């Protein structure tokens, strides 16, 4: 079945450094790739998403890149701040549906002041 | 406007009892999802409703789990004969047609003793 892998499972960076989280997916028909952030004790929230017709998307300090040939996509956070500390989940849509996605196992990011 | 709400926020039940978890999606959202999140783990897909289509039940872990969505709005997830391994946070999310962002509820923390 469809599968999304995510690495690393945990990541610690110094404040101000960059953080990169990588995901791979198995369904070549996937065309929508959202990223969710879940702070401790809170609900997941969408932070950025990308569709298969673009290779990169940026929103302030956050960017996502997509390589459809290799079936992998990455989240890049620059100038990290302590409030970036959270669990980040990548996801990939099932076949050509945008609505249903499969989530990766998550990456726990710690930004050390 | 109001976000996704879930009730109860916490539920403690004895092994073998049935439980019902409720989700109120954002008004007008046609898609509704249930996920299970065990402590420190990822988002495990359970079931997905989209409009009047037959629900996608492919993630339900056993026949003790069932869900319904009445009138295209409120959804109830029922777990029969609960087991200790059912202990987790159950998250509900909804999304609107044409907008694929999933808005999550606060979750129901289920503890089976």
* Residue in B27, B74, B72, B78 with CA at minimum distance from that of residue B50: B72
Name which of A43, A44, A100 is nearest B48 (Cβ-Cβ).
Answer: A100
| Shortest CA gap A45–chain B (Å) | 7
Residue A98 — very low, low, confident or very high, per pLDDT cuts 50/70/90?
low
Residue B40 — very low, low, confident or very high, per pLDDT cuts 50/70/90?
confident
CB contact under 8 A, A103 and B43: yes
Neighbour tally for B66: CB within 10 Å: 14
Q: Which of B5, B30, B34, B42 to mutate to test the interface with A (most CBs of A within 10 A)?
A: B42
Residue B51 — very low, low, confident or very high, per pLDDT cuts 50/70/90?
confident
Helix (H) or strand (E) holding B25: none
Residue A69 — very low, low, confident or very high, per pLDDT cuts 50/70/90?
very high
C-alpha dist (Å) from residue B95 to A1, A104, A113, B34, B47: 24, 19, 36, 12, 14
Residue pLDDT, tens place only, B63-103: 999 999 988 799 999 999 999 999 999 999 999 867 789 99
State the pLDDT at residue B2: 82
- Give the range with max mean pLDDT: A49-53, B9-13, B25-29, B42-46: B9-13
Please report the DSSP string for A32-90 in residue order: EEEEEEE-TTS--EEEEEEETT-SEEEETTEEEEEETTTTEEEEEE-S--GGG-EEEEE
- Give chain A's mean pLDDT: 93
Name the more confident of B50 and B76: B76
Distance CA B97, CA B47 (A): 18
| Shortest CA gap A34–chain B (Å) | 8
Burial class (CB in 10 A: 0-12, 13-18, 19+), A25: buried
State the pLDDT at residue B96: 86
Q: Give chain A positions within 8 Å (CB) of B51.
A: none
State the pLDDT at residue B41: 84
Mean pLDDT confidence for A97-111: 89
Which three-class secondary structure state does DSSP give residue B96? Answer: coil
| Shortest CA gap A11–chain B (Å) | 15
CB contact under 8 A, B42 and A43: no
* Residue in B77, B83, B63 with CA at minimum distance from that of residue B23: B77
Q: Give chain B positions within 8 Å (CB) of A106.
A: 41-43
CB contact under 8 A, B91 and A44: yes
Which three-class secondary structure state does DSSP give residue B33? Answer: strand
Residue A12 pLDDT exceeds 70: yes
Mean pLDDT confidence for A105-110: 97
* A5 Cβ contact list (under 8 Å, min separation 6): A23, A24, A25, A104, A105
Mean pLDDT confidence for B41-57: 90
CB contact under 8 A, A99 and B31: yes
């Amino acid at each position: 079945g469809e599968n999304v892998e995510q690495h690393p499972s945990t990541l610690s960076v110094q404040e101000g450094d960059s953080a990169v989280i990588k995901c791979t997916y198995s369904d070549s028909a996937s065309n929508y790739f959202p990223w969710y952030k879940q702070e401790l004790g809170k609900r997941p929230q969408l932070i950025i998403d990308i569709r298969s017709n673009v290779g990169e998307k940026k929103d302030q300090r956050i960017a996502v890149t997509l390589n459809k040939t290799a079936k992998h996509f990455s989240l890049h956070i620059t100038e990290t701040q302590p409030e970036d500390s959270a669990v980040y989940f990548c996801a990939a849509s099932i076949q050509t549906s945008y609505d249903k996605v499969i989530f990766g196992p998550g990456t726990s990011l710690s930004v050390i002041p | 406007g109001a976000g996704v709400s879930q009730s109860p926020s916490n539920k403690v039940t004895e092994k073998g009892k049935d439980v019902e978890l409720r989700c109120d999606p954002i008004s007008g959202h046609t898609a509704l999802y249930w996920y299970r999140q065990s402590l420190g783990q990822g988002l495990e897909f359970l079931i997905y409703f989209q409009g009047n289509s037959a629900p996608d039940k492919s993630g339900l872990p056993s026949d003790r789990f069932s869900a319904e969505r009445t009138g295209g709005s409120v959804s109830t997830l029922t777990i029969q004969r609960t087991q200790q391994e059912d202990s987790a946070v159950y998250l509900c999310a909804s999304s609107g047609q044409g907008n694929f962002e999933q808005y999550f509820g606060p979750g129901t923390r289920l503890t089976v003793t």
